[in-house]
Amino acid sequence: MPNTAIESVTGLCVWDSRGRPTVEACVRLACGAEGRAIAPAGASTGSGEAVDLRDGGHALGGLGVARAVANVAEGIAPALAGMDADDQEAIDAAMIELDGTANKGRLGGNAMIAVSMAVAHAAAAAHDQPLWRYLRAREGVDGAVVLPMPEIQIFGGGAHAGRRVDVQDFMAMPIGAESFAEACVMTAEVYRAAGAIMGKRGKLMGVADEGGFWPAFDTNEEAIEALLEAIEKAGFVPGEEVAISLDIAASELHRDGLYSLGLEKRALDSDAMAAMVLDWVNRYPIVSVEDPLGEHDPDGLARFTAAALGRVQVVGDDAVVTSAARIAALAARGACNTALIKPNQAGTLSETLAAVKAARAEGWGAIVSARSGETEDVTIVHLALGWGVEQLKVGSFARSERIAKWNEAIRIEDALGQGARFATGLPFPLSQ
């Protein structure tokens, strides 16, 4: 057996896809194995997330991570020295205790998640296994390895695109694909078609933070129409081969107790907002809706979930913040039926896994997700595969911080051959 005792933990300031500083952690073990990981960062964050520790002040808009990096070397490293990298739970518990806050604000969620993921990479390397296989073995998952259904952003809006449209993500789900590689081909066709349509209309302004096109739409519904048109132009049957998924990110729209649609110059109460989204669900081939209402509105989310039952997957992001306790509480009131799983919302891998298990215990679906600020780090792909999570959300089909993750899944599927099973078809909460 390799000696998996932690020998050193170091931190480094590196840069994310928005050109902002972030934390990379490197963990070295006594056996010589090494693991690295980089923290991502959100823009439309939930208030209950683990917080990133930022330096403040003038430089880099206050976004520097010198203090978080220093916390890796001066706070976390001595506490973890000599601990067994195979015991992820004990390591995460030690960091949680050292931090001692509810929001991880002392050490920084960015420092903690980078170290937590780097520990897992180092342990997997010590056992000479890819991370996904190591995690799968630890969790005792057997049977075919499931390649997740991707939901891929075609148009971006909201906080990721100057709020030109209110809805944040207009995504394609290639539900008719038979492999992950085919899902990528189908999405690439839809992405190309969407770009061509928007270019021809002179509506293309650029790409949003996650690589989706950022056109000058006049209404939110125009974006849904354009996505439908792109699916058809690419030669697919909407709702059968390629379906639509939305992330409304409605917490971002909340103003004075109402949902403010800036582009349409309207303010809606919870019921009117829910009715608008349900009307879209009725008229378009939409199979998944995330954050249709805000994190402050769990009753609205519950009413929406009841009304949408069997028609659309209802995904919680800002209200859920990758917390097992929040999943249990929301499930108890019937709000949402699928959890978005973002490791840096939780701040450690153990808490992230606990959220996945809580979702399963409630009969919910789960989607492993990237953030709007990302890097070349592909850990989340391994988490989805290793933990058997059947959906993956990484942003668009452009920009290498996104494509690196799709490519990692393609590579793993290819290496597995017959041992892989693609999570084709509708997201399973629809069959409940």
Beta strand pairing status for 21-29 and 365-369? unpaired
> Which of 99, 151, 317, 377 touches ligand PGA by CB under 6 A?
317
Task: Compute and round to an integer the Cα radius of gyration of the chain.
Answer: 21
> Which of 28, 371, 382, 402 touches ligand PGA by CB under 6 A?
371
Residues 6 or more apart from 98 whose CB is under 8 A from it?
75, 76, 79, 107
- Show contacts with ligand PGA in window 244-273 (CB under 6 A): 247, 249
CA distance 209 to 206: 10
Instruction: Report whether 324 contacts 358 (CB < 8 A).
Output: yes
Min dist CB 288 to ligand PGA, Å, is 12
Q: Write the burial class of residue 194 (CB in 10 Å: 0-12 exposed, 13-18 middle, 19+ buried).
A: buried
Taking residues 382 to 421 in sequence order and writing x for each that binds ligand PGA by CB under 6 A, - otherwise, the string is ----------------------------------------
Residues at the interface with Zn ion (CB under 5 A): 247, 290, 317
Q: Which is nearer to Zn ion, 270 or 345 (CB)?
A: 345
Min dist CB 44 to ligand PGA, Å, is 4
DSSP string, 44-55: S--TTSPPPP--
- Where does this chain touch ligand PGA (CB under 6 A) — which range of 19-27, 36-44, 328-336, 413-421? 36-44
Neighbouring CB atoms inside 10 A of 204's CB total: 17
Q: Which is nearer to ligand PGA, 36 or 393 (CB)?
A: 393
Catalytic residue, from 24, 49, 151, 342: name it.
342
Residue with nearest beta carbon to Zn ion: 317
How many CA atoms, within 13 angstroms, populate the side-chain half-sphere of residue 147?
Answer: 29
Q: Which is nearer to Zn ion, 290 or 297 (CB)?
A: 290
- What's the sign of the alpha-carbon dihedral 54, 55, 59, 65? negative
φ, ψ of residue 23 to 5 degrees: the values are -100, 130
Min dist CB 247 to Zn ion, Å, is 4
Instruction: Report whether 402 contacts 210 (CB < 8 A).
Output: yes
By a kind-dependent CB cut-off of 5 to 8 A, residue 316 interacts, out of Zn ion, ligand PGA, none, with none
By a kind-dependent CB cut-off of 5 to 8 A, residue 153 interacts, out of ligand PGA, Zn ion, none, with none
Contact between 343 and ligand PGA by CB under 6 A: the answer reads no
CA distance 323 to 302: 18
Min dist CB 250 to ligand PGA, Å, is 10
- Show contacts with ligand PGA in window 37-96 (CB under 6 A): 42-45
Residues that bind ligand PGA (rule: CB under 6 A) add up to a total of 11
Contact between 323 and ligand PGA by CB under 6 A: the answer reads no
Contact between 322 and ligand PGA by CB under 6 A: the answer reads no
φ, ψ of residue 390 to 5 degrees: the values are -90, 5
What SS3 state is found at 355? helix
Min dist CB 160 to ligand PGA, Å, is 6
Min dist CB 317 to Zn ion, Å, is 4
Q: Which is nearer to ligand PGA, 16 or 390 (CB)?
A: 16
Min dist CB 414 to ligand PGA, Å, is 28
Q: Which helix (H) or strand (E) holds 289?
A: strand 286-290
Known catalytic membership, residue 342 = yes
Instruction: Report whether 306 contacts 250 (CB < 8 A).
Output: no
By a kind-dependent CB cut-off of 5 to 8 A, residue 43 interacts, out of ligand PGA, Zn ion, none, with ligand PGA
Beta strand pairing status for 243-247 and 254-255? unpaired
Contact between 326 and ligand PGA by CB under 6 A: the answer reads no
Q: Which is nearer to ligand PGA, 186 or 208 (CB)?
A: 208
Known catalytic membership, residue 210 = yes
Residues 6 or more apart from 13 whose CB is under 8 A from it?
21, 22, 23, 24, 64, 65, 66, 69
- Show contacts with ligand PGA in window 269-308 (CB under 6 A): none
Nearest by Cα to 7 from 126, 96, 117, 143:
126
By a kind-dependent CB cut-off of 5 to 8 A, residue 323 interacts, out of Zn ion, ligand PGA, none, with none
Beta strand pairing status for 365-369 and 204-207? unpaired
Point out which residues bind ligand PGA (CB under 6 A): 42-45, 168, 247, 249, 317, 369, 371-372
